[in-house]
Amino acid sequence: MSKHNYENKLAVLQAIPHANIKIANIPIDVYLQEAEDLYLWVQEDKEDFLNINFDWQHYVDDLTKRTGALRYAQSLWIRRKNGQEESQKEWKQKLPIAYELRKELLAGFRYTFRNHKELISTIRDIAKGKSYADLIQDLSSLSVLGKANVAKLKSINFDIQKLDHAEQLSKEMAQLLAQVNSAIKQSGEVVKTRNQSYTHLKEAVDEIRNAGKYIFKSNPDRFKGYISTYRKS
């Protein structure tokens, strides 16, 4: 049902301009439960709300739809966040391995090819870059260069298997970096929609609470139901 509400509300949510988006300063799960509680509480006071020309249909009848939309949007964000964290975790685990392998290859190549100016020049070009993209390309380029000069490397008992490792690690790191970058971009959109969902729900919750506190300003037994328990505590 939450997904259905989310899909039906998506156009409305995405129409909320950036300047009007509110950021939750209360845990989303807590806010959702308070909205659910508010929906039940206000049912007993419908006649009083209608007496002040409150737009019951727009805010109260629509409250569960707004709550469902936010609940689903929050679920999408949690799923996206977890996926992003997994990619980042694997990337961080492999990053020092990649740097160390690059360092070993460069050291072995510089020694092996020390008397070959053209090869040393190629190594210098490979080693120039400092970005993650450069690291990934360096592993691939060093693997290719090494496999083209296997005999020379074997002459110093260099571990030739490291060339295959560099090629494989380069592919894995490229895929991981793409996943991390994609997840970051997509997370930005998911967060925005989640915040728009919160803003949409907050609009209704605030209107109901403000009306309830006005109507029952002299009735503490009913007034208390229009106060946020989280903020009060």
Question: At which residue do the structure tokens 């249909």 appear?
Answer: 57
- Chain centroid, CA 41 distance in Å: 35
Cα 207 off chain centre by: 31
Cβ atoms of 16 and 183 closer than 8 Å: no
Percentage with pLDDT > 90 across the chain: 80
Asked whether the predicted pLDDT for residue 232 surpasses 80, the reply is no
d(CA 69, CA 10) in angstroms, rounded, equals 8
pLDDT band at 78 (very low <50, low <70, confident <90, very high): confident
* pLDDT tens track for 19-28: 999 999 999 9
Burial annotation 25-60 (CB, 10 A radius, 16+ → b, else e): eeebeebbebbeebbebbeebeebbeeeebeeeebb
Instruction: State the average pLDDT for the chain.
Output: 93
Position 83 pLDDT exceeds 90: no
Please, which residues have CB within 8 angstroms of residue 75's CB and are 6 or more apart in sequence?
2
pLDDT, tens digit, for every residue of 184-221? Answer: 777 788 889 999 999 999 999 999 999 999 999 999 99
Residue tagged 């019951």 (tokens): 56
Weakest-pLDDT range from 77-86, 88-97, 137-146: 77-86
51-55, 111-115, 180-184: the lowest-pLDDT one: 180-184
Q: Mind listing the pLDDT tens digit for each residue in 106-132?
A: 999 999 999 999 999 999 999 998 899
Is residue 160 within 8 Å of 153, Cβ to Cβ?
yes
The closest alpha carbon to 211, from 19, 28, 55, belongs to: 55
Q: What does the pLDDT read at residue 125? A: 92
Q: CA-to-CA distance for 182 and 91, rounded, in angstroms?
A: 13
What is the identity of the amino acid at 72?
Y
Q: How far apart are CA 101 and CA 161, in angstroms?
A: 11
Reply yes or no on whether the pLDDT at 1 is more than 70: no
Question: Which residue, 77, 66, 82, is CA-closest to 190?
Answer: 77
**Cα–Cα–Cα angle for 108, 165, 130, nearest 5°?**
65
Structure tokens at 110: 């510089």
Q: What backbone torsions phi and psi does residue 217 show, to the nearest 5 degrees? A: -60, -25
What is the domain partition of the chain in residue ranges?
2-232
Residue 135 token pair: 């690291």
| Measured distance CA(59)–CA(63) in Å, rounded | 6
Tell me the pTM: 0.67
pLDDT of residue 189: 85
